[in-house]
Amino acid sequence: MHTKHYTLSFLILLVYGCLQIWIGNIIPFCNGYGQDGCLYGAITENFYQKVITEGLNAYHVQRLLPLFIVHYLLKFLQIPLEAFYIIKSFQIFNLLILLGIQTIWWKICKLQTLNHTLFWVGLILALLNFQIGYNAFYYPIATDYLTYLLGFLLLYFYLRNWLWGMSVVSFLGAFCWPSFLYFSFFLMLFPYPTHQLSTFYEKYKTTFNNWIVAAVITIVYFVFVASHIQGNGIYWSVGLYEDKIEGNFYSFYVALVINVALLFAFLRFYVPAFRLMGLLIAEHFLKIVWLRVLAFIVLYLIVNGLVAQLSLPEPNYIDPLQLPKTIAFYSVLSPLFYLVEATTSMGLIFLFIILYFKHFFQRSVLHFGTSIYITFFVFVILRFVPEVRSTINFHPFIVFLVCYSLQDFFISKRFLITLGLLSFFLSRVYLSFLPIPPSWHDTSFGLMEGIFIHTLGWTRDFYLWAKLITFVLLGTLLVLSKKKIKENFYIQSYLK
């Protein structure tokens, strides 16, 4: 690839970020800090007081790295630790993060011999979305963006098969995102490259028995979720925490039926993965480089020791059903999550996966061996957790796997421009597709619903109609784009 593509993309990103910092909006809550940012901003203002003297819980201790960097950088430069300077510092910090992601992505493309077109496609899919490209400046005080950068670094070190690099990144990521260390477990355990899994998967492709297993799991999901719907609300409790969201009884069941259909469709394709995953782990058990196991154990002990030292003592309550309960509670608040919510938040990358899932799975996921195969399966299951950003540390791998599978497509300049414009539009206009909007009098969440209702003066009914129209347009675009791609693009044979 010619370096002019790197230079041009760097300058575009730099100008875009500077304009966002100069004239862009800031979330109108808690002096521009945002909901989670209220605490993070207070920590940044007085890091030692909040962390050492007063103390934090273990969860927030594992979100401290960006706050630590900005706090002590401002102190070193003798800049006042006030809201205005903290917000601007985080915006500049996030811009540097985006430029870092662009540089790492360039190196990944050169490493895997992806052409300049796929470099631009990956850059659009990775950065031109609401969660990263817009929120990095609109809601700057968050740990998502540094986690995203570390995710790309982890991908780069994985493809280079550098254990030390993955270990360092996993350690840093553990203090940005609580699940980051666990996410890197299989990547550290099974080195790259490993053998391709296409032939293994073919032995366990979907059969009638797999349909039965998928149906049983889906029915269990339906019964479990339905048992939490009580009257005019859905009830959820984990440990000492209880919550109940009131809403239309029928809307819960409409959402539940939609998600049951989605779950069955995924499971019907993935049931062979249950058996294959067990066989892969058993097969590789004796082949595992035990230095990697030791490295992860040492890393895990160090991280947990530091977290224990820095965090306040808490009740050690573990609810084995916490994840199923969370899915039960939130999944009926977010129907068509895979098709709509993820796309409106993280961009059009999910449409590529949905449109060409079989090709994507066989060409990319199976190609990169055991660690990617297992990690991607976990990613799919966790997509039922409501927040798209909950798996933001895996999103760089999704970008790479999609671009790798797109090597078999002819991508024209017109398509690239259309992708960029549509991604830019989605990054600026985000509509959450929760069927039950939050209370209209409550602006504390700083969600886009509150902005539409309070800032633009939309009524509740107008907002709901806007969501419906947007969904219809997006669905129409989905159907037309699939038909158009079939007419104008070609797919080379990737199974010899």
User: How far, rounded to the nearest angstrom, does the alpha carbon of residue 454 sit from its chain's CA centroid?
Assistant: 28
- Look over the chain and give the mean of its residue pLDDT values, rounded to a whole number: 76
Q: Higher model confidence: residue 472 or residue 156?
A: 156
pLDDT of residue 406: 86
pLDDT of residue 436: 36
pLDDT of residue 258: 73
Torsion angle of the four alpha carbons 300, 401, 380, 296, in this order, in degrees rounded to the nearest 10: -10
User: How far, rounded to the nearest angstrom, does the alpha carbon of residue 147 sit from its chain's CA centroid?
Assistant: 10
Residue 447 has a CB neighbour count (10 Å cut-off) of 19
pLDDT of residue 382: 73
pLDDT, one tens digit per residue, over 312-322 is 876 655 566 66
In this prediction, residue 495 has a pLDDT band, given cuts at 50, 70 and 90, of very low
Q: Higher model confidence: residue 433 or residue 481?
A: 481
Q: How far apart are CA 206 and CA 370, in angstroms?
A: 20
Backbone angles phi, psi at 115, to 5 degrees: -75, 175
Give the pLDDT mean for 10-15.
Answer: 94
Give the pLDDT mean for 20-33.
Answer: 83
pLDDT, one tens digit per residue, over 418-445 is 888 888 877 776 554 443 334 433 333 3
pLDDT of residue 26: 85
Give the pLDDT mean for 361-385.
Answer: 76
Residue 283 has a CB neighbour count (10 Å cut-off) of 12
In this prediction, residue 488 has a pLDDT band, given cuts at 50, 70 and 90, of very low
pLDDT of residue 68: 93
For residue 392, give the nearest of 63, 112, 120 by alpha carbon. Answer: 63
Is the per-residue pLDDT at 99 higher than 60?
yes
pLDDT, one tens digit per residue, over 111-126 is 998 999 999 999 999 9
User: How far, rounded to the nearest angstrom, does the alpha carbon of residue 110 sit from its chain's CA centroid?
Assistant: 24
Q: Higher model confidence: residue 446 or residue 169?
A: 169
pLDDT of residue 309: 87
Is the per-residue pLDDT at 232 higher than 60?
no
In this prediction, residue 17 has a pLDDT band, given cuts at 50, 70 and 90, of very high
Please name the residue that has the structure tokens 């003592």: 313
Q: Which of 232-246, 378-392, 430-444 holds the top average pLDDT?
A: 378-392
pLDDT of residue 71: 93
Q: Higher model confidence: residue 458 or residue 287?
A: 287
Q: Which of 38-52, 189-203, 406-420 holds the top average pLDDT?
A: 38-52
Give the pLDDT mean for 140-144.
Answer: 90
Is the per-residue pLDDT at 37 higher than 80?
yes
Q: Which of 62-76, 432-446, 454-468 holds the top average pLDDT?
A: 62-76
Q: How far apart are CA 67 and CA 88, in angstroms?
A: 13
In this prediction, residue 299 has a pLDDT band, given cuts at 50, 70 and 90, of very high
Is the per-residue pLDDT at 205 higher than 70?
no
Give the pLDDT mean for 175-179.
Answer: 90
Strand partners, 311: 56
The domains of the chain are located at 3-218+284-488
Q: How far apart are CA 471 and CA 34, in angstroms?
A: 27
**How big is the chain by its Cα radius of gyration, in Å?**
23
Q: Which two tokens stand for residue 169?
A: 């990144």
Close Cβ partners of 221 (under 8 Å, ≥ 6 residues apart): 260, 263, 327
pLDDT of residue 396: 93
Strand, coil or helix: 493: coil
Q: Which of 42-51, 216-225, 358-367 holds the top average pLDDT?
A: 42-51
